[in-house]
Structure 1
């Protein structure tokens, strides 16, 4: 089953009120509306395209050690995935799919890192609960996400739903009161800093299959 098939099955169960969430029906309209508004805004068009130069970054890993994109690229191509946080089940399924593909990614000489606005303890939780063998970097205030054209502010009605219905207070989860998130995105960056693959989707329930990365990495290796 593809990653998207798994995500679609999860969404169908969630919107039907199935376990373990048993979500009340009234929550779905504002969530659908917020996604539709983000799509209509055209925000995803601001992300860099294939052939553009990727923004350089230095971010801390969960142990507080700085990780530089330049240092990573000196070792080979880099796969960078942006995700919303440990509280997002779609993101966790995405991370698990990437972990399953990690041996194939690394066999092609590339490294894989994830970027999230959440605090270091939540990144450690992400790594633990998803059994990840790759690093999660903390993008405080979504500054690197903004450099990649991915940062957006949640509308007030969605922030209220997250905080008061789901108990996901992003001001606490992210250590940042801005209530911003990155649009989920995935990039392959060649060693010269050029973007060789770019996928951004303002609909957080849609994620590309990690298998798409492999032909790109094969071309870079060749």
Structure 2
């Protein structure tokens, strides 16, 4: 799937739209406590975020949807690092506002080896302060190319999360946050994995020294 392009993706209006959302100022950042949420996976099974971060490092990837080519590229890049995540005892959960059925299709189409969650009620996107209402020019564009976001997300809203990647430790503290106004750019898995490896090594040293 090639990335779906629009004028919004390629010119300075992207910066203006992002600034207007206020997300740069309010989104959760490194050092903040992560908000908890309980979301269904593609099968409808409920997954509580805190249940996973208590087991070890949790990587959260917020993406717009399977219709977004840049998001699919990002998810496939993470799929290729599944073994690295497993070696570090880390879990990756990918979150979008798509319905469970559309989330399941995204996982199947990209042959993903990790869990994809549905955030149709925007519980997680709002909790991390990433959700924003699309401006009229984007509503018109996506409508013109047949990307009916209110239907894909099952909530009747022209609302999406800004793409973001978080790493959360066992105490629920955010240790890494990447929130990107340019939807063509995402956190590199290698950079995120280095953060996770540092966390794992620091925890092992703490246990070994009893500190």
Q: Is TM (by shorter chain) over 0.5?
A: yes
CA distances 1:160-191 after superposition (whole Å, capped 9, x unpaired): 11012x10001111011120000000000000
Deviation at 1:33, TM superposition (A): 5.6
Q: TM-score, normalised by structure 1?
A: 0.84
Report the counterpart of residue 91 of structure 1 in structure 2.
Answer: 71
In the TM superposition, structure 1's runs of 4+ consecutive aligned residues that sit over 4 Å from their partners are none
CA RMSD of aligned residues (A): 1.8
Report the counterpart of residue 193 of structure 2 in structure 1.
Answer: 214
* 1:189 matched to 2:180: no
Deviation at 1:100, TM superposition (A): 0.8
User: What is the aligned counterpart of 1:122 among 102, 110, 129?
Assistant: 102
SS at match of 1:140: coil
Q: TM-score, normalised by structure 2?
A: 0.88
CA separation in 2, counterparts of 1:150 and 1:29? 18
| Consecutive unaligned residues in structure 2, runs of 5 or more | 202-211
Deviation at 1:128, TM superposition (A): 0.9
CA separation in 2, counterparts of 1:143 and 1:156? 24
Deviation at 1:32, TM superposition (A): 3.5
The size of the alignment, in residue pairs, is: 199
* 1:35 matched to 2:14: yes
| Consecutive unaligned residues in structure 1, runs of 5 or more | 1-9, 16-26
* 1:101 matched to 2:81: yes
CA separation in 2, counterparts of 1:128 and 1:136? 10
Pair 1:45–1:162, CA change in 2 (3 A): same
Task: Give the conservation status (yes or no) of the 8 Å contact 1:44–1:149.
Answer: no
CA separation in 1, counterparts of 2:133 and 2:34? 23
Judge which range, 203-212 or 185-194, deviates more. 203-212
